[in-house]
A = this chain, B = another copy of it.
Amino acid sequence: MTIDDLQARFAALCVTAGLDLREGQELIVSAPIEAQSFVGHVAGAAYRAGAPLVTCLYEDPSLIRARFDHGADEALDCAPGWLSDGVVKAYEGGAARLFVYGPYPDLLTGVAPERIGRMHAAMAAASAAEGAFTADLRVNWCAIPFVTQSWARIVYPSMPIAEATDKLWNDVFDVVRVKSADPIAAWRDHLAVLETRCQGLQALDLSALHFVGGGTDLRVGLAEGHQWVGGRSRAANGALPVCNFPTEEVFTCPHRDQVEGRLAASRPIALGGIVIDGLVVTFRNGVAEHVEAREGREMLEGLLSGDKGARRLGEVGLVPCNSPVARKEVLFYNTLLDENAANHIAFGQSYSACIEAGRDRNIAGANTSALHIDCMIGHDAMDVDGVLKSGERRAIMRAGDFVLD
């Protein structure tokens, strides 16, 4: 099969296994212009699945760059809240959302980090209501990776660009199981493993997780009534989307006041064209008090100062270090893949799906923020213990792999 054939299969898988698009449901896609032909495959699949309308909000990276090159500093406080309000209206009308995430890591080279942070803060504030819709699973949504040339260039810098792009597409096709003889069956089996893992962790009724290894010694208290989630999630409209595609993680909600110790990131974080590398963070009473990084510290500090919840954790995720993504042994510079290679935490907003239904998420200890930034901490020398309510400890992972299953 050609790359285009596999893209068409991938697009169809995103609409069915990914979004679980319902018949009669409108679909909003966000994608870079570079993804136009892929979006065409998505639209075809969605219309065949009974969508009445597919609208793509195309993103043009050169317009973002033009803004930094020709616009004024104060102008960065202006964000298209009107567009975000429009999307909220579509959600209220029942629309599903597909995020075709194609990174442009070199887009903002040379731009001052505080200017980038200023733009992100304004955008996050203007799109808070839109973000809450997907964070709370009020609609079915799915985020998928798309291979841009800009992305392929940093993953495989020594290859000619066409070769790098093809190679990275093949990586993506592997980790999303699109090359399987029966991708739908492969996903069903994989989702069953994640479901069993969630049930095992849920049954332990943990009060905390303790991560040790590779410079990290971090105790993450869990929210009251936290729920382990992995693979599919039930959206408020009844659909069962896989919100991140691929997904290898099981994850839950930390308690926003109960994170203590030291975190050393095991992989860089790539954010809006800026890389945060060599990150070390110290937590006390849930707050990221001290932030160090070899690269991108100011950018991260800017983001973490965006609102009160930005310095606290909203997610903790467990991933075996032998996952298909990890086995690639490539640093993808892309959270959507890298977080499926390693244990991770996230700064900022927590997912309501990770709190028992009917509980007040605020009282339970869930965190609220306009941000959600994943940070990888796992690797093959990491042990994870579960701390039971009795104080007793249970081995969850050893040397990066699950010992619980």
Contacts and interface: CB of A to CB of B under 8 A. Distances in A.
Interface of A: 26, 33, 36, 39-40, 43-44, 47-48, 50-58, 60, 62-63, 66-67, 69-72, 74-75, 77-87, 89-90, 93, 95
B66 A43 contact: yes
A63 B11 CA distance: 14
A356 to B, nearest CB: 32
B58 A71 contact: no
A82 B93 contact: yes
A80 B87 CA distance: 10
Nearest to A70: B47
B90 A80 contact: yes
B58 A60 contact: yes
The number of times this chain is found in the oligomer is: 2
Contacts of A55: 63, 80, 83
Nearest to A75: B52
Q: Is the interface of A mostly helix, strand, loop or mixed?
A: helix
Given A33-B58, A54-B67, A82 B89 contact: yes
B75 A53 contact: yes
A152 to B, nearest CB: 20
Nearest to A43: B66
Most chain B Cβ neighbours within 10 Å, of A50, A69, A75, A95: A75
Contacts of A78: 26, 52-53
Contacts of A66: 40, 43-44, 47, 54
A85 B81 CA distance: 12
B83 A85 contact: no
A72 B148 CA distance: 32
Contacts of A39: 60, 63
Nearest to A41: B66
